[in-house]
Structure 1
Amino acid sequence: MGFTFAGIHSEQHGLRVLDVKRPISPGIAAKTVKVPGKAGVYDMGNEVDALHISVEVLLTGQTLREIRDRVRAVAAWLRNDDRTGMLTFDDEPDKAYTARLTDQTELEEMALTGQATLTFLAADPLAYAVEDDVFTSESGMLSFQRKGTAPSQPLIEITGESGGMDGGFEVGLNGSMMTYKGPLGFGERLVIDSRLKTAYLLKTDGTKQSALNAFDSLIFPLTLPGKENQLQVSPLGAATVDQVKITCRSCWY
């Protein structure tokens, strides 16, 4: 088994993967508040930590110089210009983490081999679908099921027209409702991004204009695994809906 990081497979650098340690789930810590005079504590839910993935690898070469050259090439690849990269494993090629190499990686050299443990940090501990679930509708209504085991923060895009004032759109997903009362011109898109907690108009020239102030609520909707999700975009006043698109960002614990 091997892994792919930042678009490059471990075999391309002559790495043999000996072991991969992926926790069943990221660390979970209880949030509690102690109040003087009260027995016990108040339960404030959980805090979820980042995910650490350890990969034990073996590197071989014909000479010590070749091993050192390979080590430096591997270091440059995994450093990735100090950027995160997509990390996938051969046994789950449909799932990817956004990760970066962390901690100091020590290479244990013996004869013409080198062995090391690589530690990747996934600040977002969820694994995301490499090929996401994307659904579209011209009626403004969608009923769909998506992959994954964890709730996800979707991207919703609406095309149509609204003159503002009393016009706009009601956007409902799984019982969560947001109402937009604002303009939407021909060829523009109204984008609701639950992950970034923002909404904007994507203009015909490619620029973005914030639309947050035109919403009555900033409680952004989620898609849910293992059930039928219901999305409905209803025009208000003289507004019209041409197409609704949802990118689910399907994910797994």
Structure 2
Amino acid sequence: MFSFKGKSAKDFGLVVREVETPLLPSATHRTINVSNMHGAIDVGRKYEPREITVQIGIKGDSYESVRSQARTIAAWLNSDKLEKLVLEDEPDKYYMARIVDDTDLKPLFRYEETSVTFIATNPFAISQKPKTVKLSKNNSKKVTVAGTAETFPVFNILMDAASDNFTISVKNEKYGTVHMKLFDKFIKGEPVVVDCQSGTIRVDNRKANILSLDSDLATLVNGENTITCSGSGTVEMTYTDRWL
């Protein structure tokens, strides 16, 4: 069973025969060919969108009722934008997806069957519950990320004194230590938001280019991540676990 756009397939009387989800999203492998060298040089890979196929059946008391129900289901599944797709065996996770390809009904006696393919442009399953961690200034905190895919935190800083700099450092096994050094004329009580997902920084709700040239935005990985805050402010970090 599955739900889409906040409504369950059960609400439409659908028979869900099978849900096909690949173990891993497909990947594009990046290589560089060098003349007079066997094979190629590996330069990493990139995950492609994930496709999830659902085999469904529509039952009715007559051919007319089956066709009427099919139109109702078509209106439910149709979407111009990505919507929440939740699979029954993982109700704590979701994908942002929409339908792709043609959907042809195979008519049987008072029953029609078809396969519906969803495409999730973000190939990772996303936790339904974001996590928030309070960080102490001028101190370090270890955060264990449960999700098996990388995720991008959001830091909400409230300046508790006037200052001209603030630094957040994130250390993990994959990326080593990444520093985010912020330079501005901060005033007491001013909110600062560092969004590593969108790549934006906002000071008192205005977009600001205050990240130093030798800084980078942080990525959290599965396992232990150590976050250190240096400066005059209190910090909350919010992140969402994602899974391969």
Asked whether the two chains share a fold, i.e. TM above 0.5, the reply is: yes
**Post-superposition shift, 1:185?**
3.9
Asked if 1:159 is matched to 2:161, the reply is no
Partners of 2:138 and 2:73 lie apart in 1 by 49
1:99 aligned partner? 97
Alignment of 1:204-215 (within 5 A): 208-215=205-212
CA contact (8 A) 2:60 2:111 kept: yes
Summarize the Cα distance change of 1:168–1:14 in structure 2 as closer, same or farther, 3 Å threshold. same
Partners of 1:169 and 1:139 lie apart in 2 by 10
Asked if 1:223 is matched to 2:220, the reply is yes
**Post-superposition shift, 1:161?**
4.6
Larger mean Cα displacement after TM superposition, 146-155 or 170-179: 146-155
Partners of 1:186 and 1:15 lie apart in 2 by 57
CA contact (8 A) 1:95 1:128 kept: yes
2:229 aligned partner? 233
2:60 aligned partner? 61
Alignment of 1:140-155 (within 5 A): 141=139, 142-155=141-154
Asked if 1:176 is matched to 2:178, the reply is yes
CA contact (8 A) 1:140 1:233 kept: yes
**Post-superposition shift, 1:189?**
2.2
**Post-superposition shift, 1:137?**
3.2
Partners of 1:16 and 1:120 lie apart in 2 by 17
* Count of aligned positions: 238
Deviation track 1:172-195 (CA, whole Å, cap 9, x = no partner) reads: 111211100113344442111122
Partners of 2:161 and 2:212 lie apart in 1 by 14
Contiguous gaps of at least 5 residues in structure 1: none
| Root mean square deviation of aligned Cα | 1.8
CA contact (8 A) 1:146 1:248 kept: no
**Post-superposition shift, 1:152?**
1.0
Aligned counterpart in structure 2 of residue 250 of structure 1, from 224, 235, 241: 241
Summarize the Cα distance change of 1:187–1:75 in structure 2 as closer, same or farther, 3 Å threshold. farther
1:18 aligned partner? 17
Determine what percentage of the aligned residue pairs are the same residue: 25
1:112 aligned partner? 110
CA contact (8 A) 2:180 2:211 kept: no
TM-score normalised by L of structure 1: 0.87
Partners of 2:194 and 2:214 lie apart in 1 by 12
